[in-house]
Structure 1
């Protein structure tokens, strides 16, 4: 298929991503019990939100097309793979660990599915079709793991100061530091294995770009 279709898919990906993030922010603000500043910090303390912002920004940069020095790496082989790894993990963790802990309704239900199911699937399909998989380097994997590692350090540090932990499995107050670190270690290992699977699978398949 033509580049015109690819452009449309990129535009739709950016629109879908920003819509989900912005609406989720509005909903959180409408139901906030903390200050505006604290609620905003908490909003961006969720790996789901940060990763969906990354997805929306990625598609926006591709759609803009003009060279932007700060975002040149967004268009290099491997960046899409890393982004797909992150958003796929968001989807998998939610489906298996978080879906049953609450039952959103109305617009919150729609946004919840966008952030945790629809967008991860959309990015995965886009990756299958458009990533230059043969050019993705195994050596990039350690760099990809910095994002979840820095995220963990941030939420543990801030949680220690504020008492707020965005996910129950990293709640040191309830579980204790040892259990949180143990679970985080398994999750970090899952990221590493996922990265290896993405690179290996990508190099083993042949797809024609649309």
Structure 2
């Protein structure tokens, strides 16, 4: 029963994530890119749009959704790569939702394609993927949150951070988020704010790890409690 729910929710996440990414790209390609007017060509606008952390996290969430639907089932957990994918999708989307509502959202109404994409990429997906991850704990036989997978889960955010700061240099100062805009707030504050997001990211991982250990120890206590040897 639970595995069927996980597969269904995974498929929903995949459809929503892919749909939002495609519809958002169409909207950006056919309208002026107001965040940075220097981007006039379709290619420049699309590259800028798909450089948002939000898009990276939602595309990864869609990939994880497909994996939940067709791979992480019937006792298979995908090994270390599967754990990294699940953790990345879960934590990156949690960070996306939190940062958006605390630092980015200004309460203004969304129009055009954003009226469709914003509720998905900033609201539904940041809740749906963590929920699936929690449900999937009942299906896996070892914790996702381990030192090796934690380090692996930091690779994509680190690549995104390096890409963002490099892009700012080659585009003459384009930053996808105001709280990272070193041109406006200074490099020191930009780096400090970015580092705080990594701290939040790490806290999320530790909290998820604690939840996972508690749940798995109750579901499969013999894997976590060493039984006394029979000396008869």
Settle same-fold status: TM greater than 0.5: yes
- Rounded to whole Å, the distance in 2 between the matches of 1:200 and 1:2 is 22
Q: Give the SS at the match of 2:105.
A: helix
- Rounded to whole Å, the distance in 2 between the matches of 1:137 and 1:51 is 18
Q: Aligned pair 1:194/2:204, yes or no? A: yes
Q: Give the SS at the match of 1:100.
A: coil
Please identify which structure carries the higher helix content: 1
RMSD (CA atoms)? 2.4
Q: Deviations over 1:67-88 (max 9, x none)?
A: xxxxx66863353133201111
The equivalences for 1:1-210 within 5 A come to 1=1, 3-33=3-33, 34-65=40-71, 76-100=82-106, 102-105=108-111, 107-131=113-137, 132=140, 134-139=142-147, 140-162=149-171, 163-205=173-215
Identify unmatched segments of 5+ residues in structure 2. Answer: 34-39, 73-77, 220-232
- Rounded to whole Å, the distance in 2 between the matches of 1:156 and 1:116 is 23
Q: 1:137 to 1:119 in 2, by over 3 A?
A: closer
Higher relative contact order, structure no. (Cα contacts within 8 Å, ≥ 6 residues apart): 1
- Rounded to whole Å, the distance in 1 between the matches of 2:144 and 2:3 is 22
Is the Cα contact below 8 Å between 2:14 and 2:66 reproduced in 1? yes
- Rounded to whole Å, the distance in 2 between the matches of 1:2 and 1:196 is 25
- Rounded to whole Å, the distance in 2 between the matches of 1:111 and 1:27 is 10
Is the Cα contact below 8 Å between 1:21 and 1:49 reproduced in 2? yes
Identify unmatched segments of 5+ residues in structure 1. Answer: 67-71
Q: 1:177 to 1:128 in 2, by over 3 A?
A: same
Q: Which entry has the higher C-alpha Rg, 1 or 2?
A: 2
Q: 1:190 to 1:74 in 2, by over 3 A?
A: same
